[in-house]
Amino acid sequence: MQLQNYACGRWHTGRDRGVGMRDAASGEIVGNASSTGLDFAAMLSHARDVGGPALRALTFHERAALLKAVAKRLAELKEEFYSLSFRTGATRNDSAIDIEGGIGTVFAFAGKGSRELPNSRVYLDGAVEGLSKGGTFVGQHIYVSREGAAVHINAFNFPVWGMLEKFAPAILAGVPVIVKPATVTAYLAELVVRRIVESGLLPEGALQLVCGSLGDLFEHLNCQDTVSFTGSADTAGRLRVHPTLIRHAVRFVAETDSLNSSILAADAKPGTPEFDLFIKEVVREMTVKAGQKCTAIRRVLVPADRAASVTSALVAALSEVKVGNPENATVGMGPLVNAQQRKSVEGGIQSLSKEARTAYQSAKFMPVDADPQAGAFVPPTLFQVSDASKSPLVNELEVFGPVATVVPYRTKQDSFAIAQRGGGSPHRSAPT
């Protein structure tokens, strides 16, 4: 399959074979992504000159109605999306977060637009205010649609939800969208975009897609445009200092890495509902999407006198998780997204093992209904440290996979201090 890129109201096929995208479980080629031949300046012009005016001609309520119609159409097609989502390594439950969550988000913005915004093209922010003693000078603040394009650069782990959560508010605001999904799972985002375009529900130019490189698109941005990026802090750092963004004051929004922690309170003891829920949630966060979530729990902070019992409970629960082919209904965790990600996660595990004790990792790992060599499978791995201050890497390295570390704390203040050491954007073992 040769992926096509929707731009300027037409489908363009890359001339070269582009970047091969593989099935996460089997390693088979799903498609090739390429943006060769796309005119990025024309894409932006099409968005600004065709898509933008068409959207701005509609009221908030009319745009909300469009979003509701799009969400309904996507809901009708969700089984098609589920079928392809397996190839990203996602189980049915993983895909539900991505697909159902994404469609639900579009419905939510449609509802907010119709209930909370006026049936107008302008949003009034406060009443008219007098600015002179005689009342000859007054002012009122209003919101109107920006006259540029919203460029959305998305991460690989949620190709549907990650795209739709940005798409919906932009369309509601009357701003046309150019979507650039992460290449490794671009085939799923492409299918969703293709179905939206085929529905004919949106005005021409309201939604465009780039699979592969963004080429020279940044060179053509202006002050009316917005770039929204989701991915690694390293990539965000490079993009935000692009000369064009600085020269033209282009809005740049970044959602980047995080090294999250979950703290077990001192009064949550073994046998209590709180303790059991804590264990369940840590295991769930480690294994959903094979741990490839920016919200996944990486550091499990527990009272020092409970570190052994928490570790034992987590090991017992993790040993019950079946890893394998995501299409197999008995499987609880699928593979990582590709071989490169597996290599990076394995490297991160090796690095952490120098500072932490391995509490759990299947010694004879064999994925269910899958070839362990062909797929990007990594077993859940649990580490344990005795003193967070002597294991700095635990608070600095985010292994973007099914990996977590049990970290003891002595006091409530100590737990807060350890949590804060994770910072906002630590080094990640693999880019998004």
Cα–Cα distance for residue pair 302/409, rounded to 1 Å: 6
Residues 12 and 85 in one domain: yes
Residues 237 and 382 in one domain: no
Residues 36 and 174 in one domain: yes
* Structure tokens that stand for 196 in this block: 């939206």
Examine residue 365 and state whether it is found in any structural domain, yes or no.
yes
Split at pLDDT 50, 70, 90, the class of 14 is: very low
**Cβ neighbours of residue 388 closer than 8 Å, sequence gap 6 or more:** 394, 395, 407, 408, 409, 418, 421
pTM over 0.75: yes
pLDDT for residue 16 is more than 80 = no
Examine residue 131 and state whether it is found in any structural domain, yes or no.
no
Residues 203 and 282 in one domain: no
**Contact predicate 307/338, CB 8 Å:** no
Percent of the chain residues topping a pLDDT of 90: 88
pLDDT of residue 388: 85
Residues 105 and 213 in one domain: yes
Q: Which residues form the domain of 150?
A: 4-125+140-255
Residues 237 and 285 in one domain: no
Could you give the residue numbers annotated as active site? Answer: 255, 294
Domain boundary among 199, 226, 255: 255
**Tens digits of residue pLDDT in 152-207:** 999 999 999 999 999 999 999 999 999 999 999 999 999 999 999 999 999 999 99
Residues 297 and 240 in one domain: no
Residues 268 and 377 in one domain: yes
Amino acid residing at 22: R
To 10 degrees, what angle do helices 161-172 and 92-116 make? 10
Residues 298 and 344 in one domain: yes
Examine residue 235 and state whether it is found in any structural domain, yes or no.
yes
Examine residue 327 and state whether it is found in any structural domain, yes or no.
yes
**Tens digits of residue pLDDT in 337-374:** 999 999 999 999 999 999 999 999 987 789 999 999 99
* Structure tokens that stand for 337 in this block: 């997204």
Domain boundary among 255, 280, 296: 255
* Structure tokens that stand for 290 in this block: 């094979």
Examine residue 130 and state whether it is found in any structural domain, yes or no.
no
**Contact predicate 270/309, CB 8 Å:** yes
**Tens digits of residue pLDDT in 127-144:** 999 999 888 999 999 999
**Contact predicate 195/160, CB 8 Å:** no
Q: Which pairing describes strands 150-153 and 177-180: parallel, antiparallel, or unpaired? A: parallel
Cα–Cα distance for residue pair 332/327, rounded to 1 Å: 10
Instruction: Give the CATH number of the domain where residue 40 resides.
Output: 3.40.605.10
**Cβ neighbours of residue 133 closer than 8 Å, sequence gap 6 or more:** none
